[in-house]
Structure 1
Amino acid sequence: MLPRLSSLRLPHWTLRIATLAVLIVSCSLWPIAAAHADEVPPPRTEMPADIQRILDRGKLVVAVLGTDNAPFFMEDGNRQLTGLDVKIAQGLADELGVDLEFNRSAETFDEVVDQVYQLKADIAISKLSRTLSRAKRVQFSRPYVAMRQGLLVNRLQLAQQIQGQQVIEAIRNFSGKMGVIQGSSYVGFIQQKFPNATIEEYPAWDDIVKAVIRGDLQAAYRDELEVKKIILKNPDAALRLQTIALTDTNDKIAMALPWDSDHLQAFVNQYLDTFSHDYTAALVLDEYADYFRTEANQ
């Protein structure tokens, strides 16, 4: 701390000069302070930029996979898009006070994320798993669905692989052919969870299921909801197939947004909290049970 001028033993004429210098500097700063006090802040847009551009456009553009994935997004008899993700997208558009438009040009889940990264969509709501590789390019909302990962296994193939082992041990050391959807998060998950498995990528989930039934694949790897849907829609398939939910795993489903859309992300998270969108696989299957029963009877 500097000593006060009055505490210094200086000649009176030196003290007077020093005091005068302080007064001169102080007075010279008054116009600067006054100028800053009178400054008008720069004009602001009515809303944050990432929300303002949606309002100016008059519509919310949502990226969704081109192939239906019930009960998250699928066309009804009138070729209108419906499902859980569609309901959430419509709710967001309504709260923003704009129209809703879907961009369904993506052929894989990774391409859905790319639509957001390239700003071809404001947000992606397409049953997207949060992964670190995707988080390098986009940001995610909080999860609105939490599930475990699951396996759909050919019963005969599993019995041959066990050979005296416990089922859990045999699954942990799985070394057969395992099918996953091309361009999905499960391509990365399988490398982490089953490093000894031979990965077979297919463009469509139905083709993977058929391959497991035929025995071309020993197992299919996806979230527990998709695995359980197979038995729910085709009860007879339980004779040839076995479903296994991996209790030490999780698959968090969230929305993807551009990496710089911070205010839109905050809006989306508050929307999810306000309307209590917190689902499990069981809750989703229960909410859309009628849809699956109707589909199974067709």
Structure 2
Amino acid sequence: MRPTLRAAALAATALLALTACSSSGDDAAADAAGELTLVNPGTLTVCTNPPFEPFEFEDENGEIVGLDIDITREVADDLGVDLEVVVTPFDTLESGASLTTDACDILASGLTITDERAEKFDFSEPYFDADQGLLVAEGSGIDDVESLAGKKIAVQMATTGETWVEDEGLTPVQYEDLGLQINALRTGQVDAVVNDIAVLGPFITEGLEVAATFPTGEQYGLGVKKGNTALLEAVDATLDRIREDGTYDAIYTERIGTAPTAD
């Protein structure tokens, strides 16, 4: 843990106040000086890809909400800036393109920390443990890897779920987002859905069931543009702070439905 978490966040805020320009040249100079820079001064911009409930999804008012949004709002609050949510395709998140094109400051979309992704952008400390889950029609008899052989399995493109299906030698069918995966299962286009277990619970309705969990040891992290060390440190300071003051437990319990398991 960091010895002075609130101090770190306040120091980042002070640096932000000194950084009032947003041109690429000025940003590069600021990065080199170790100052915190944002693509839109005064606003922390986060890229995400709903629907991925409970991490990011649209509520009844059309607002994007969820666990990832709650956490990034805590970062924005610690920095003393506004929060703006930008919806982008998942492949532009996973590839880091949303950061390199300055579409946003932070990636927050249930991103599993992997070595390949870490070559494209920097990850925060882990904030969520995640395994893969299997969603099928009730009574399908599909409940393990063996019974998935020869079946069409909906996967979200560019995700670790897709990688898992491919590594098991199974047949993936790509979809752009979780909502399209679920629709494909409901309409009989595929036999099963594989995605992170935490996002499958809301769909246990209309004859669907979570039939298995596949432990993978995955952890989610927030993504930050390489070289933006000051922002990354501010993000990690907020993650440490919300773990220590109980805010993370409250967010987790509200969004997941149960309290987080103690480490």
TM-score range, shorter chain: 0.7 to 0.9
Cross-structure match for 1:11: none
Q: Distance in 2 between matches of 1:209 and 1:101?
A: 28
Q: 1:186 aligns with which of 155, 161, 180?
A: 161
- Unaligned 5+ segments in structure 2 are 1-14, 20-29
- Unaligned 5+ segments in structure 1 are 1-43, 160-166, 289-298
1:286 lines up with 2:254 in the alignment: no
Alignment partner of 1:57: what SS?
coil
8 Å Cα contact 1:145-1:281 kept in structure 2: no
Cross-structure match for 1:174: 149
Cross-structure match for 1:110: 91
Classify 1:281/1:190 alpha carbon distance in 2 versus 1 (closer, same or farther; 3 Å).
farther
8 Å Cα contact 1:149-1:224 kept in structure 2: yes
Greater relative contact order (Cα 8 A, min sep 6): structure 1 or 2?
A: 2
1:261 lines up with 2:261 in the alignment: no
Q: Map of 1:121-132 to 2, 5 A cutoff?
A: 121-132=104-115
8 Å Cα contact 1:176-1:198 kept in structure 2: yes
What letter matches 2:191 in structure 1? Q
Q: Distance in 1 between matches of 2:38 and 2:180?
A: 39
Q: Map of 1:26-45 to 2, 5 A cutoff?
A: none
Tell me the TM-score normalized by structure 2.
0.72
Question: Computing the radius of gyration over CA atoms, which structure comes out larger, 1 or 2?
Answer: 1
1:75 lines up with 2:62 in the alignment: no
What letter matches 1:260 in structure 2? G
How many equivalent residue pairs?
226
Q: Distance in 1 between matches of 2:117 and 2:145?
A: 31
Q: 1:57 aligns with which of 32, 38, 41?
A: 41
Classify 1:280/1:201 alpha carbon distance in 2 versus 1 (closer, same or farther; 3 Å).
farther
TM-superposition CA deviations, 1:122-175 (whole Å, max 9, x none): 11122222222221211111111112111113455536xxxxxxx65625x734
Q: 2:197 aligns with which of 218, 224, 239?
A: 224
What letter matches 2:216 in structure 1? T
Q: Shift of residue 92 of structure 1?
A: 1.0
What letter matches 1:116 in structure 2? L
Q: Distance in 2 between matches of 1:123 and 1:205?
A: 21
8 Å Cα contact 1:212-1:218 kept in structure 2: yes
Sequence identity, in percent? Answer: 23
Q: Distance in 2 between matches of 1:54 and 1:116?
A: 11
Q: Shift of residue 110 of structure 1?
A: 2.2
1:243 lines up with 2:214 in the alignment: no
Q: Distance in 2 between matches of 1:274 and 1:129?
A: 22
TM-superposition CA deviations, 1:190-226 (whole Å, max 9, x none): 222x22x111112343332343345432221101112
Alignment partner of 2:55: what SS?
coil
8 Å Cα contact 2:68-2:110 kept in structure 1: yes
Q: Shift of residue 121 of structure 1?
A: 1.4
Q: Distance in 2 between matches of 1:279 and 1:180?
A: 30
Q: Map of 1:136-175 to 2, 5 A cutoff?
A: 136-155=119-138, 157-158=140-141, 168=144, 170-171=146-147, 174-175=149-150
Classify 1:272/1:281 alpha carbon distance in 2 versus 1 (closer, same or farther; 3 Å).
closer
Classify 1:175/1:264 alpha carbon distance in 2 versus 1 (closer, same or farther; 3 Å).
same
8 Å Cα contact 1:145-1:278 kept in structure 2: no
Q: Map of 1:2-13 to 2, 5 A cutoff?
A: none
Cross-structure match for 2:219: 252
Q: Distance in 2 between matches of 1:78 and 1:153?
A: 30
Alignment partner of 2:109: what SS?
strand
Cross-structure match for 2:77: 94
Classify 1:242/1:76 alpha carbon distance in 2 versus 1 (closer, same or farther; 3 Å).
closer
Q: Distance in 2 between matches of 1:221 and 1:55?
A: 35
Alignment partner of 1:53: what SS?
coil
8 Å Cα contact 2:122-2:224 kept in structure 1: yes
Classify 1:98/1:242 alpha carbon distance in 2 versus 1 (closer, same or farther; 3 Å).
closer
| Higher helix content, 1 or 2 | 1
Q: Shift of residue 118 of structure 1?
A: 2.7
What letter matches 1:189 in structure 2? W
